[in-house]
Chains A and B, each alone.
Chain A
Amino acid sequence: MRKTMKRALCAVVAMAMVFGMGACGEKKMPVIGISQYGEHGSLDNCREGFLQGLADAGLVEGTDFTVDYQNAGFDDNICTQIGQNFSAKNVDLMCGIATNAATACFAAAEDKDIPVIFTAITDPVKAKLDSGNITGTSDKLPVEAQLDLIRKMQPEADTIGIIYTTSEPNSVSAIEEYQAKAGNYGFTVEAVGVTAQSEVTQAADMLISKGVDCFSNLTDNNVVGVLSSVLEKTNEAEIPVYGSEVEQVTLGCVAAAGIDYFELGRQTGAMAAKVLKGEAKASEIPYETIAEYGIYINSAAIAEMGMTVPADIAEKAIESQE
Chain B
Amino acid sequence: MLDLIISTVTQGFIYALLSYGIYITYKILDFPDLTVDGSFPLGAAVTAVLLVKGVNPYLTLPLAMAVGALAGLVTGVIHVCFGVRDLLAGIITMTALFSINLQIAGSNLAVGRDVDTIFTAEPVATVFGNFTLLQRKLIVAFLLVVIFKILLDLYFKTKNGLLLRAVGDNDVLVTSLAKDKGKVKILGLVIANALVALCGCVVCHEQRSFSATMGTGQMVFGLATVIIGTTIFKKEGFVKGTTAVVVGSVIYKVCIQIAISLGLPANLLKLVTAVLFLVILVVGNRQKGGHKEACLR
A contact residues vs B (CB 8 Å cutoff): 1, 3-4, 7, 11, 14-16, 18-23, 36, 39, 68-78, 80-82, 84-85, 87-90, 99-100, 103-104, 107-108, 110-111, 126-129, 131-132, 166-169, 172, 195
Q: Does chain A have a CB within 8 A of B56?
A: no
Cβ A70 vs Cβ B257 within 8 A: no
Cβ A71 vs Cβ B267 within 8 A: yes
> What residues on B are CB-neighbors of A131 within 8 Å?
112-113
Q: Given known contacts A76-B213, A80-B206, A127-B108, what 18 new A-B pairs fall within 8 Å (CB)?
A: A16-B1, A18-B258, A19-B5, A23-B1, A70-B260, A73-B266, A73-B267, A80-B207, A81-B8, A81-B11, A85-B261, A103-B211, A108-B7, A110-B208, A111-B133, A126-B110, A128-B113, A195-B99
Complex Cα gap A1–B257 (Å) = 26
Question: Given A127-B110, A167-B98: A110 and B133 within 8 A (CB)?
Answer: yes
| Selected A-B contacts with CB under 8 Å, 9 pairs | A22-B262, A80-B11, A80-B207, A85-B257, A99-B211, A111-B132, A111-B133, A128-B110, A167-B108
Cβ B208 vs Cβ A84 within 8 A: no
B286 shortest CB reach to chain A, Å = 11
> What residues on A are CB-neighbors of B221 within 8 Å?
77
Cβ B206 vs Cβ A81 within 8 A: no
Q: Does chain A have a CB within 8 A of B3?
A: yes
> What residues on B are CB-neighbors of A87 within 8 Å?
3, 7
Cβ A195 vs Cβ B260 within 8 A: no
Cβ A89 vs Cβ B4 within 8 A: yes
Complex Cα gap A129–B208 (Å) = 11
Q: Which residue of A lies closest to B287 (CB)?
A: A3
Cβ A39 vs Cβ B1 within 8 A: no
Cβ B262 vs Cβ A107 within 8 A: no
> What residues on B are CB-neighbors of A99 within 8 Å?
108, 211
Question: Given A80-B11, A87-B7, A107-B209: A19 and B261 within 8 A (CB)?
Answer: yes
Segment of B68-76, B85-93, B154-162, B248-256 engaged in the interface with chain A: B248-256
Q: Does chain A have a CB within 8 A of B67?
A: no
Question: Given A23-B1, A75-B217: A15 and B107 within 8 A (CB)?
Answer: no
Q: Does chain A have a CB within 8 A of B214?
A: yes
Within 8 A of A (CB), among B146-190: none
Cβ B260 vs Cβ A81 within 8 A: yes
Cβ B232 vs Cβ A4 within 8 A: yes
Size of chain B's interface in residues, with CB distance under 8 A? 51
B contact residues vs A (CB 8 Å cutoff): 1, 3-8, 11, 98-99, 102, 107-108, 110-113, 132-134, 206-209, 211-214, 216-217, 221, 232-233, 235-236, 251, 253-254, 256-258, 260-263, 266-267, 269-270, 283, 287
Cβ B7 vs Cβ A78 within 8 A: no
> What residues on B are CB-neighbors of A76 within 8 Å?
211, 213-214, 216
Q: Which residue of A lies closest to B270 (CB)?
A: A73
Complex Cα gap A316–B266 (Å) = 38
> What residues on B are CB-neighbors of A4 within 8 Å?
232-233, 235-236
> What residues on A are CB-neighbors of B214 within 8 Å?
76-77
Question: Given A81-B253, A167-B102, A169-B107: A1 and B7 within 8 A (CB)?
Answer: no
Partner of A167, one of B8, B212, B217: B212
Complex Cα gap A74–B266 (Å) = 11
> What residues on A are CB-neighbors of B251 within 8 Å?
11
Complex Cα gap A77–B256 (Å) = 10
> What residues on A are CB-neighbors of B7 within 8 Å?
84, 87-88, 108
Complex Cα gap A69–B113 (Å) = 26
> What residues on A are CB-neighbors of B111 within 8 Å?
128
Question: Given A108-B7, A166-B102: A19 and B1 within 8 A (CB)?
Answer: yes
Q: Which residue of B lies closest to A69 (CB)?
A: B266
Complex Cα gap A129–B40 (Å) = 24
B275 shortest CB reach to chain A, Å = 14
Q: Which residue of B lies closest to A103 (CB)?
A: B209
Cβ B254 vs Cβ A15 within 8 A: yes
Partner of B208, one of A85, A107, A195: A107
A240 shortest CB reach to chain B, Å = 29
Complex Cα gap A108–B257 (Å) = 14
Complex Cα gap A14–B213 (Å) = 33
Complex Cα gap A36–B253 (Å) = 19
Cβ B263 vs Cβ A22 within 8 A: yes
> What residues on B are CB-neighbors of A70 within 8 Å?
260, 266
Q: Which residue of B lies closest to A89 (CB)?
A: B4
Q: Which residue of A lies closest to B209 (CB)?
A: A103
Q: Which 3 pairs between the two chains have the least Cβ-Cβ distance?
A: A71-B266, A88-B4, A111-B133
> What residues on A are CB-neighbors of B233 within 8 Å?
4
Cβ B207 vs Cβ A78 within 8 A: no
Complex Cα gap A128–B210 (Å) = 12
Cβ A103 vs Cβ B263 within 8 A: no
> What residues on A are CB-neighbors of B5 within 8 Å?
15, 19
B5 shortest CB reach to chain A, Å = 7
Cβ B134 vs Cβ A111 within 8 A: yes
A310 shortest CB reach to chain B, Å = 37
Question: Given A87-B3, A108-B7: A103 and B208 within 8 A (CB)?
Answer: yes
Complex Cα gap A170–B113 (Å) = 22
> What residues on A are CB-neighbors of B217 within 8 Å?
75, 77
> What residues on B are CB-neighbors of A85 within 8 Å?
4, 257, 260-261
Q: Which residue of B lies closest to A22 (CB)?
A: B261
> What residues on A are CB-neighbors of B235 within 8 Å?
4
Partner of A81, one of B1, B211, B212, B257: B257
